[in-house]
Homo-oligomer: A and B are copies of this chain.
Amino acid sequence: MKQRLWNYISGLRNTSPLVHSITNYVVMNNTANALLAAGASPIMAHAHPEMKDMVSIAGALVINIGTLDEYWVESMRLAIRQAETLKKPWILDPVGAGATHYRDTVLKELISIYHPSVIRANASEIMALAQVSTPTKGVDSVNKTEEAPEAARYLNKTTGAVICISGATDSIIHEGKCVSLKNGDPIMARITGMGCTATALTGAFCAANPANLFEATVAAMALMGVAGEKAAALAKGPGSLQMHFLDVLATITEQEFNELLILEEENAGI
């Protein structure tokens, strides 16, 4: 797979797919810029009367619940239904899963009634989300990160979605396959919305490659990690990291990408 990933990245630059995001206020600007830098074309809209039309012209839909409220949750439902009707991939970012009862209730609906193509989240959120589906457990704490692959496999099995756990190591899990990526830099956690950007890029790669969402997700996370690592080497702090990150997303070459990429592939079985 390692040899194929650059093709996904150059393919994105050439096809410039349209990605419709219903996302949170905090990161809208960042994630739109990251999509543009990587070669995709962002649209962000949430008005109920235009959800069908917007999803119809987009190649993928990104649903991020970071600053959800009742109106926006209904926007999400309308957009997801249209995406499922038109068989377009939709990506779920369950921001803050486990933080409030309301979030968990909304997430439970989104993953039980609908069928996300990919779920991208950090370990705590993946674990909280798995527990949404297994209500006999309480909300888990942050320190059980090592349990996330198990929760991810459970989520993959119950929802059918490709599951991506992001962190120091990113793991992408689907039907017994697992790819782990070990790029990036701890300073990436000092900018808001890096996770949301990973989800947005996943949406872009899925829009460009609807036939292989597993590899599309790996490609998105590989680009995130490698670009973040290269940007961190240039940065003097989180402010300059953000600037360099966008520059690198737009300008990284095949050689730079392949030299930095650390990818481990396994068929873990379930």
Q: Which residues of A contact B (CB under 8 A)?
A: 24-30, 32-33, 36-37, 42-50, 53-54, 57, 66-71, 96, 99-103, 189-193, 235-240, 242-251
Question: Most B CB atoms within 10 A — which of A24, A100, A245?
Answer: A100
Number of copies: 3
Closest B residue to A39 by beta carbon equals B190
Q: Is the CB of A192 within 8 A of B238?
A: no
Give me 30 A-to-B residue pairs in the complex whose CB atoms sit less than 8 angstroms apart, sorted by A's number. Answer: A24-B44, A26-B29, A26-B32, A27-B29, A29-B192, A32-B193, A33-B239, A36-B192, A37-B237, A37-B238, A43-B96, A44-B66, A44-B67, A45-B66, A45-B68, A45-B100, A46-B69, A47-B67, A49-B102, A50-B101, A53-B99, A53-B100, A235-B247, A237-B247, A239-B244, A239-B247, A240-B244, A240-B246, A242-B243, A243-B243
The smallest beta-carbon distance between A215 and chain B, in angstroms, is 26
Q: Is the CB of A102 within 8 A of B50?
A: yes
Q: Which residues of B contact A237 (CB under 8 A)?
A: 37, 246-251
Q: Is the CB of B67 within 8 A of A33?
A: no
Instruction: Give bound CA distance, A100 to B53, whole Å.
Output: 5
Q: Is the CB of A53 within 8 A of B192?
A: no
Q: Which residues of B contact A189 (CB under 8 A)?
A: 36
Question: Most B CB atoms within 10 A — which of A50, A189, A190, A249?
Answer: A50
A57 in contact with B99 given A33-B239, A36-B238, A192-B33 (CB within 8 Å): yes
